[in-house]
Chain A
Amino acid sequence: MNQRRPYVRPMTGWWKKNPYFVEYMVHEGSALFVALYAIVLLVGVLCLMSGPAAWNGWLAALASPLSVLLHLIILAMVGYHSYTWFKIMPRTLPPVIIAGRRLSARCITTSGLAAVAFCSVALWLLAWGCA
């Protein structure tokens, strides 16, 4: 039997001690909300398959105040995912060399966020135009 009782530094809540790690846990936590939204959409697909009554039931559920509040929270977290995705991108992307110079981190992040803005406007116009 092992009689030693070596000190093991407790790790619970380690990330709460440093704002940098709190931010890390929040942006990793955004995945829970991405999953939640995907499941909301998946339920929508199943309702669509079941017919108009089920589909309208899903729409009615989406229109409940609780659902709108939940979607505002999802929006905040998915929006934060968007922001951090491109903020981290300079470190997740291999170095991009253009004309012998490395593309700056700022340029990568700004381009990414501009792409988000472009896609958002395009999607809104598509939804508006298709109605």
Chain B
Amino acid sequence: MKSELKRSNAPIFWGLFGAGGMLAALFGPMLVVITGVAVPLGWLPAKTMGYQHILNLARNLIGKGLIWALITLLLWHAAHRIYHSLHDIGIQGGPLAKLLTYGIAMAGTVITLVALLVMGF
């Protein structure tokens, strides 16, 4: 008997997948409507996504947290789902597949965090 079993890292990635999936399910559709359709077509006032307005949001600590959580959790959700679906289309998972899924999510996490911090408080 092994006295110490290696701890799996699966719960971490599954947790990120679940959190991102829940966020996308609850808020995703309306966010896409607002940023991708309603504001561009003028159904909502242009000020909704005005530079100063969104900059204020991104400089607020809570706003920063919300933007960071939204973008990164969506990326981790998608990365996990795409990685595990590769098997279904006959692609073996491996370091390259991980780099192109979880790697992109990790890069997005860092880039978003740095950008939000650069904008100041």
Contact = CB atoms under 8 A, between A and B. Distances in A.
Interface in A36-81: 37-42, 44-46, 48-49, 52, 55-56, 59, 62-63, 67-68, 70-72, 74-75, 78-79, 81
Contacts of B25: 81-82, 85-86, 112, 116
A67 B31 CA distance: 15
B112 A45 contact: yes
B103 interface: no
B115 A78 contact: no
B119 to A, nearest CB: 6
A72 B40 CA distance: 12
Contacts of A15: 88
Nearest to A27: B81
Q: Is the interface of A mostly helix, strand, loop or mixed?
A: helix
Interface residues of B, number: 52
Contacts, number: 157
A35 B21 CA distance: 11
A7 interface: no
9 contacts: A25-B88, A35-B74, A35-B78, A37-B36, A46-B111, A48-B58, A72-B37, A130-B48, A131-B45
Interface of B: 20-22, 24-41, 44-45, 47-49, 51, 53-55, 58, 67, 70-71, 74-75, 77-79, 81-82, 85, 88, 90, 104, 108, 111-112, 115-116, 118-119
